[in-house]
């Protein structure tokens, strides 16, 4: 890599710092050229949770570029926040929310400046982030903070920086038309404009990664994709006209398909083949249940539509096990692998 990847430690009271430390120890070849944008003391406490036999020393670096020169078996940290107090593991704390938010904000700005190639974010705690006060209390989570900062950098309203969530693992990719809204609101969000926007964002994000246009399958809304209007008309009135428009724009899009079978068709088979590269899901649970069923520890959350690469593990802060030295870094390791893959694809 010619530019490093920044990894934010997430909420200092959750498992984020520990899984970051474990990722360095368990996948040293993957984390080479990466660094933690956070607090040195926090990462040393987190490394102390890792078994001594595999633990790495934590070193402080002065600039992001220094991460490219750090020798193997060493975790580089750039101090991007004020020196953090020692906070108790497993507790919601406004100070932790502020430190986590500051680290993400720094990493986002560094990516927008081009100082880092990608950002990988360990889990935030939404309650702690809100408790931190302005400006962090205006963001429900990572995505909204990244979106707002990217829009500010580009000098456009947030509405002109539409983003989508992609959940992916080695077997399946799915992109959501809507995210954290009620099911009723999610149904109201299924419009031609929003679905077409999702298709365009997905095509733009995956084309450089795959080296070709992604073959996209659109999941229906209703059982059996509506059976021609017998079980609902969303497929007839919204999705089919949307797909016609997308095909006219040159997108490789197919459907709408019955949502109870389309994910199986898009799942990678043992021989490496898959019928579709990605499924466009109409709402949160429709898309996330199949991916998470295949294994939360392998899932990666990717934010599409930003002028930067951002990935994260597909789990939360797990306050109940924080500080116990038992956290699983698998999903974070996959998020780092995905970020590296997207960086190489973008070039």
Residue for token pair 């993957």: 30
Domain with CATH 3.40.718.10 in the chain: 5-161+308-346, 170-292
Cα R_g (the chain), whole angstroms: 20
Per-residue pLDDT averaged across 2-16, rounded? 97
5-161+308-346 carries CATH number 3.40.718.10? yes
DSSP state of 130: H
With pLDDT > 90 as the criterion, what percentage of the chain qualifies?
84
The CATH code for residues 170-292 is 3.40.718.10
Whether pTM > 0.85 for this model: the answer is yes
CB 136 within 8 A of CB 130: yes
Answer whether 128's CB lies under 8 Å from 12's CB: no
pLDDT tier at 296, thresholds 50, 70, 90: low
pLDDT tens across 250-268, in order?
Answer: 999 999 999 999 999 999 8
Predicted confidence (pLDDT) per residue in 173-199, tens digit: 999 999 878 999 999 999 999 999 999
> β-pairing, 216-219 with 278-281?
parallel
Cross-sheet strand order for the sheet of 58-61? 58-61, 75-79, 34-38, 5-8, 118-121, 310-313, 300-304, 164-168, 173-176, 278-281, 216-219, 253-257
pLDDT at 226 over 90: no
Q: Pull the structure tokens for residue 130.
A: 């809100």
Q: Give me the phi and psi of 93, to 5 degrees please.
A: -140, 130
CA distance 206 to 188: 27
């Amino acid at each position: 890599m010619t530019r490093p990847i920044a990894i934010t430690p997430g909420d200092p009271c959750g498992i984020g710092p520990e899984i970051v430390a474990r990722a360095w120890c368990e996948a040293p070849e993957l984390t080479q050229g990466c660094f933690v944008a956070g607090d040195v003391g926090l990462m040393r406490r987190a490394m102390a949770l890792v078994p001594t036999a595999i633990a790495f020393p934590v070193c402080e670096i002065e600039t992001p570029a220094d991460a490219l020169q750090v020798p193997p078996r060493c975790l580089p940290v750039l101090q991007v926040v004020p020196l953090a107090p020692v906070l108790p593991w497993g507790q919601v704390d406004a100070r932790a929310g502020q430190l986590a938010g500051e680290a993400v904000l720094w990493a986002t700005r560094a990516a927008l400046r081009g100082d880092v190639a990608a950002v990988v974010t360990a889990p935030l705690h939404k309650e702690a982030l809100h408790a931190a006060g302005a400006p962090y209390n205006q963001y429900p989570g990572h995505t909204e903070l990244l979106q707002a900062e990217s829009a500010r950098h580009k000098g456009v309203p947030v509405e002109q920086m539409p983003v989508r969530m992609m959940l992916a693992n080695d077997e399946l990719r799915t992109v959501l038309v809507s995210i954290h809204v009620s099911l009723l609101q999610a149904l109201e969000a299924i419009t031609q404009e929003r679905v077409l926007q999702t298709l365009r964002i997905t095509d733009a994000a995956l084309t450089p990664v795959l080296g070709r246009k992604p073959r996209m399958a659109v999941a229906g809304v209703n059982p059996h994709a509506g059976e021609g209007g017998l079980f609902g008309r969303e497929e007839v009135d919204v999705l089919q006209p949307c797909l016609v428009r997308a095909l006219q724009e040159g997108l490789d899009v197919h459907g709408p398909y019955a949502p109870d079978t389309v994910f199986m068709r898009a799942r990678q088979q043992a021989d490496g083949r898959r019928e579709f590269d990605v499924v466009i899901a109409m709402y949160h649970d429709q898309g996330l249940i199949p991916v998470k069923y295949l294994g939360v520890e392998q899932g990666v959350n990717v934010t599409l539509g930003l002028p930067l690469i951002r990935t994260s593990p597909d789990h939360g802060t797990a306050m109940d096990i924080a500080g116990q030295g038992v956290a699983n870094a698998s999903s974070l390791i996959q998020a780092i692998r995905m970020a590296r893959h997207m960086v190489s694809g973008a070039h």
